[in-house]
Amino acid sequence: MRILFMGTPDFAAAILSAMCDAGLDIAGVISQPDKPKGRGHKLVMTDVKKKALERGLPVYQPETLRDGAAAPLLERLAPELIVVAAYGKILPEYILNYPKYGCINVHASLLPKYRGAAPIQAAVINGDKETGVTIMKMAKGLDTGDIISAVSAPIGEYETARELFERLAQIGGRLVIETIAGIKNGTAVCTPQNDAEASYAPMLDKAAARIDWTKSSSEVSKLICGMNPWPMAWTYYKGEPLKIITAVKSGEKGSAGEILEIKKNAGMIVACGEGAICVKEAQFFGSRRMSPEDYARGHKIDIGTILGGI
């Protein structure tokens, strides 16, 4: 079965790697165009492009898929199945309808929960106890296609989105290989999604990562975990941005956002609307990431300061 793979970030690269290890016939790889990054605005390859080149696979990066732009490529590669994982764009109908076995998508949630761009982060931020990976047959619409297979996975109390990304990518790699085998031998069964149970996980932005200290320690802790590695939960300390990298819940009480103390070999205690958190790693303005205790050795951290104000 000739397969065309479409994906962009590291999650998709792990899926592609698993497919290559399984010896699947991958005719080509489509990824988003390279984008400039850093101060020098140097073009940086997508994670999928890097992985594809390592594996000796041809890579294509069309600027657009609209108006049949990719039709000549489809005719040249002649895929019987298209596998999509975090490609980043909705596929037009001419692509969905091209392969003999259709298009399948590897989605990092238990659909219909968390359709959209940030399902892993949403599951962590909302304090879910479990999530998973779903393989669906793609249809017109956002993550609305019939479910072919799914596997659930627990979420650790302080597991970050980054850690969960890596774990679900491994699960997704195994699941897509099993699913492709089922499609090939005719045993795969499609089950329609229950749209009444659907929820949406929109793309993240920095505004959504700002900490609301009036919320409970559990909610603040989950936001910090869910926004790691990007864009990182943040607040203001004396009018300057402060990123909170890792933290755990703590039992102290105080005014919401108040720095209560710097505990030796523990962290910086900050009060929430209910309970408190202990900040283990942070990035103060103009500094690198470090523990608040290490930062306090060279900079004064004023106990009693209320975080969040500007």
The overall average pLDDT reported for the chain is 97
Task: Tell me how many domains the chain contains.
Answer: 2
Q: Could you tell me the CATH number of the domain that includes residue 124?
A: 3.40.50.170
| Model confidence at 310: pLDDT above 90 | no
Give the range of the structural domain holding residue 262, as residue numbers without chain letter. 207-298
Q: Does residue 191 sit in the same domain as residue 235? A: no
Question: What is the mean predicted confidence (pLDDT) over 184-194?
Answer: 97
pTM > 0.85: yes or no? yes
Of the residues 158, 183, 201, which one is the last residue of a structural domain? 201
Residue 105 near residue 136, CB atoms below 8 Å = yes
Q: Does residue 191 sit in the same domain as residue 276? A: no
Residue 180 lies in a domain: yes
Question: How many other C-beta atoms lie within 10 A of the C-beta of residue 37?
Answer: 10
Confidence grade of residue 228 (pLDDT, cut at 50, 70, 90): very high
Condensed to tens digits (0 to 9), the pLDDT of residues 201-223 reads 999 999 999 999 999 999 999 99
Amino acid at 155: I
Of the residues 182, 201, 220, which one is the last residue of a structural domain? 201
d(C-alpha 174, C-alpha 168), whole Å = 10
Paired strand residues for 154:
130
Condensed to tens digits (0 to 9), the pLDDT of residues 270-299 reads 999 999 999 999 999 999 999 999 999 999
Residue 305 lies in a domain: no
Percent of the chain topping pLDDT 70: 100
Residue 245 near residue 283, CB atoms below 8 Å = yes
d(C-alpha 127, C-alpha 162), whole Å = 15
- Lowest mean pLDDT of 36-40, 84-88, 170-174, 212-216, name the range: 36-40
Q: Does residue 165 sit in the same domain as residue 54? A: yes
Question: What is the mean predicted confidence (pLDDT) over 63-70?
Answer: 96
